[in-house]
Structure 1
Amino acid sequence: MSVRTGALLIHGLGGTQFDLGSMHKVLQRAGVETHAVTLPGHGGQPEDLVPVSYEDWLDAVTASYRELAPQYDTFHVMGMCLGSLLALALCERVQHSKGKLVTLAPPVFIDGWSTPWYRQLRHLVYCIPGVASRMKVEEDEPFGIKNATVRAIVKAKFARGDNFHYRWVPLACIRQVDRLRRKVLAGAHRITCPTLVVHAREDELTSLKSAEFLQATLPDVRVVVLENSYHMICVDNDREQVTNSVLEFFGYPPAPPRRVRGADKT
């Protein structure tokens, strides 16, 4: 009787499975059946995010987990950015023990080099009725990508209006991310499954403080620090290191090397 291995992959804020680069294909080639979840408020227009709470996101990934996990002998959970916070909260909620947990660029703290000095003022804006729903937080260069070639591709996708990532998100949505971050900060110590944290040293959204917190808090954790990427680590210069770190963590051999298009130091 064959052993079945599955994985739930959770995308980032305003994003799609594009956030995870080739992760689905790489894992499928290794024999892992991957499953995507589209978070509430995603896949349509940015305005769809206004009424959504982090509980809606967490309930959605919990429902997917509870439907899928019983079908497999081993079932892993993986998330990118917001998806990694949801993966952490999910594994705490269900006391995940059927597989491993992978957090990619987890923004436990929003304190990266591109976040403005006045970022904490957003908490005051949250208190003004209606304002957070109307304010837009724009996606702008470098789009979380250090690789100049990939960054140009992403910029062209935005210019064409491709439906791969929202061009902006409402500030009300960032409030929900902040609420979720507080939940993860409070509950991470209750996660017991083996965990991999992959984080770029130069992440412009979230500093290595996030990885250090998880390393200090989780009982069974491995941290990989990337030296040549920004936030979108699955599509940036270190993307092969990301996929191979995940494959190794899951017990699979590395993927065949691929030519890294446009890798650079800029």
Structure 2
Amino acid sequence: MPVLPGAEPYRHEGGEVGVLLCHGFTGSPQSLRPWAEFLAERGLTVSLPLLPGHGTRWQDMQVTGWQDWYAEVDRELRELISRCEVVFVFGLSMGGALALRLAARHGDAVRGVVVVNPANKVHGVAARALPVVRHFVRSTQGLTDDIAKRGAHEVGYDRVPLHAAHSLRSFLRLVDGELPQVTQPMVLLHSLEDHVVPPVDSARILGRVSSTDVTEVVLEQSYHVATLDHDAERIFHESCAFVDRLAPNAVRKGSTAGG
């Protein structure tokens, strides 16, 4: 099945500091592509994979689950670790949960974590019915394009496959239990108004991780897909400054002040 235009994975060979970026549920690398390119332009090695079942058609997601999505980012992280001296993990939404689990399981091999509107729970009464309903209803309304910026568009599915949603629910429960194992420095950026992942998820994550070096940033002008929204540049610069602080001289000098 051909990949949707713009949903292709992205990789850039840069210096000895690498960044793995993880996209969200039913989304694609397109939502993080500007962020990835920003980091690449500043000399970092960047990996932005396409998660299995994503970036084609929603029906392809029906036969995938969290084990497939996590295995993909775990494989990419191991590849980065093998060729870089220092590695960071970044993520948006479910990608934030993937990044947090990578940090919990890989320990000191991950130098720092940056998450944007990270998911911690599948909310709503309907979530409790997923184990049963998914056998009778294949999909429901999509979650993409929660963006305040006029004209911005997220490449993703307009339907949510319920088998995959059930798997996501199980995964987020698993990650929540592993959050105390996250000890790395972390930047968590979350939108004041988000119609997909409520602020309570960010609060829960901040309250459960064991990290002592934590920066919380509130994004006042963006909705869920903040990496394509009004606050995108702030996210890019905050994350780049974070890398530069923890891995001095990794960021190409003279670049962080640019747009």
Common fold by TM > 0.5: yes
Instruction: Give the structure 2 partner of residue 145 of structure 1.
Output: 147
Q: Indicate whether 1:215 and 2:227 are aligned.
A: no
Structure 1 pair 205/3, CA: closer, same or farther in 2 (3 Å)?
closer
Instruction: Give the structure 2 partner of residue 237 of structure 1.
Output: 230
Instruction: Give the structure 2 partner of residue 42 of structure 1.
Output: 54
Of 138, 149, 161 in structure 2, the residue corresponding to residue 170 of structure 1 is 161
Q: d(CA) in 2 for partners of 1:129 and 1:201? A: 32
Q: d(CA) in 2 for partners of 1:122 and 1:231? A: 19
Q: d(CA) in 2 for partners of 1:98 and 1:45? A: 32
Contact persistence 1:80–1:106 (CA under 8 A): yes
Q: d(CA) in 2 for partners of 1:94 and 1:193? A: 10
Give me the identity figure in percent: 24
Per the alignment, in what secondary structure is the counterpart of residue 227 of structure 2? Answer: coil
Q: How many Å apart are 1:129 and its aligned residue?
A: 6.2
Aligned length: 235
Q: Within 5 Å, which residues of 2 pair with 1:1-266?
A: 4-110=16-122, 119-128=124-133, 130-132=135-137, 134-139=138-143, 143-150=145-152, 154=153, 164-218=155-209, 219-220=211-212, 221-251=214-244, 252=251, 254-257=256-259
Structure 1 pair 93/249, CA: closer, same or farther in 2 (3 Å)?
same
Q: How many Å apart are 1:15 and its aligned residue?
A: 1.7
Q: d(CA) in 1 for partners of 2:99 and 2:231? A: 22
Q: Structure 2 stretches of 5 or more lacking a match?
A: 1-13, 245-250
Q: d(CA) in 2 for partners of 1:100 and 1:199? A: 17
Contact persistence 2:15–2:44 (CA under 8 A): no
Per-residue CA deviations over 1:141-167 (Å, capped at 9, x if unaligned) read xx21011232xxx2xx8xxxxxx3222
Structure 1 pair 203/255, CA: closer, same or farther in 2 (3 Å)?
farther
Per-residue CA deviations over 1:190-235 (Å, capped at 9, x if unaligned) read 0111111111010111222122222222223211111111000001
Contact persistence 1:145–1:232 (CA under 8 A): yes
Contact persistence 2:22–2:99 (CA under 8 A): yes
Q: How many Å apart are 1:3 and its aligned residue?
A: 6.3
Per the alignment, in what secondary structure is the counterpart of residue 42 of structure 1? Answer: coil
Runs of 4+ in 1 over 4 A off after TM superposition: none
Contact persistence 2:134–2:163 (CA under 8 A): no
Q: d(CA) in 2 for partners of 1:147 and 1:59? A: 33
Corresponding letter in the other structure for 1:38: L
Structural RMSD (CA):
2.1
Corresponding letter in the other structure for 2:128: H
Q: So what's the TM-score if we normalise by structure 1?
A: 0.81
Q: Structure 1 stretches of 5 or more lacking a match?
A: 112-118, 158-163, 258-266
Corresponding letter in the other structure for 1:242: I
Structure 1 pair 109/122, CA: closer, same or farther in 2 (3 Å)?
closer
